[in-house]
Structure 1
């Protein structure tokens, strides 16, 4: 007699896959503002809402702690992280170090199609701006350009580190509500980087990237300081 599999051809969902799904759901909730800075992550509530046990929620929270989105307080649990302007300034400084190294490596080994991928991503940023897409969609499109830059370096460690700080960057922009008054401006600020890459001048490309990130760094940190200081009387 032929025995059928209990799963009818489907493999059971492994624990790691479940944890990563919880991580993605919680990350989205934090970056989108569904979960506010300082809010406690109740393992039991999250588990009930997602229809899972508390164990994968706890593991997901630990991973989110490593990525800088949540903090742990002994005997109290996990909380959505609160940022300071100084922390954000440090974050952008670190981004500049990683992305500059990735860009240099990319240029020295050859673009090999990365420039075409970056061009398509700029087109995507223009599209979401024209469509009036929500802020999160615009920010994610922005970060994808920088992700492609790190991926093109073919150094997986650059990409790994970038992924660790990308969500923090997205959250920082979402917390202030905007980066540029005109959504199209976000797309256009990436054009000089692509042009410099194609021009083959490493120093010019590094300067274009540095200028781009430094402008964002000043805008984000200043707006965050304004939020910290509160409304002027």
Structure 2
């Protein structure tokens, strides 16, 4: 009789199962344990974690909204195909859009309209980070950046940003798992607000360059290392 293979994941205790399963799957994707194109089988994961399929399915939906998984009709969830070059190109495009959007907000005198909402969004991110509610934090992070782009008044910027929304969310999920300090990215959003408040477009550009640039370096280098180790 053939021996059963070792489970991919250890059994999981109760409470907030879908969020916890989503974090486990995110770690597996970032570490390369689950590779691009791999099928995320609900039944196998539910068995390994000692839970029903329902919270696994909900975790899959959370990660689909975050851009890490894709669903295929009658086939379930699959790890989204993403590599270092894709990520680097996405960050470069984000920098082009968001640095100029931030500069336009300052130059057009529109910061006052969104200053309080931006601060409120950061407070939400920090609180969600402390509660380890990563998937919800990702959504709020996207709202923060989108608000700046929208307020810039450049509809072309906004159209491109919205088209990239799921990929941007995926990057945010990866950032939080790559950095050692949980919530560091959430708190770093305060630096963007401080730069906007100077009233200097160049300061706004520099802050966005730094904010997105740090994440770009960490995530892209991490993926290049994984690709080198895995030969893929």
Q: Same fold (TM over 0.5)?
A: yes
- Displacement after TM superposition at 1:128 (Å): 0.3
1:151 maps onto 2:162 in alignment:
no
1:84 aligns with 2:86: no
Corresponding residue of 1:117: 117
* Runs of 4+ residues deviating >6 angstroms: 32-36
Check the 8 A contact 2:104/2:152 in 1, yes or no.
yes
| Cα distance, 1:177 vs structure 2 | 6.6
3-state secondary structure, aligned to 2:183: helix
- Deviation by residue 1:173-202 (Cα, 9 ceiling, x = unmatched): 445771422223121111111011111111
| CA–CA separation in structure 2 for the residues paired with 1:215 and 1:188 | 13
**Distance in structure 2 (CA, Å) of the matches to 1:177 and 1:122:** 15
Question: Structure 1: any 5+ residue segments left out of the alignment?
Answer: 1-28, 41-63, 71-78
Q: How far off is 1:39 after superposition?
A: 5.0
Superposed CA RMSD in Å reads: 3.2
**Alignment: residue pair count:** 170
Which sections of structure 2, spanning at least 5 residues, go unmatched?
1-21, 40-63, 71-77
C-alpha deviation, 1:161, in angstroms: 0.7
8 A Cα contact 2:141 2:186, kept in partner: yes
Deviates more, 1:197-206 or 1:166-175: 166-175
TM-score w.r.t. structure 1 length? 0.63
Aligned-partner SS, 1:162: helix
- Counterpart for residue 203 of structure 1: 202
Alpha-carbon distance in 2 for matches of 1:161, 1:154: 13
Distance in 2 of aligned mates of 1:90 and 1:144: 21
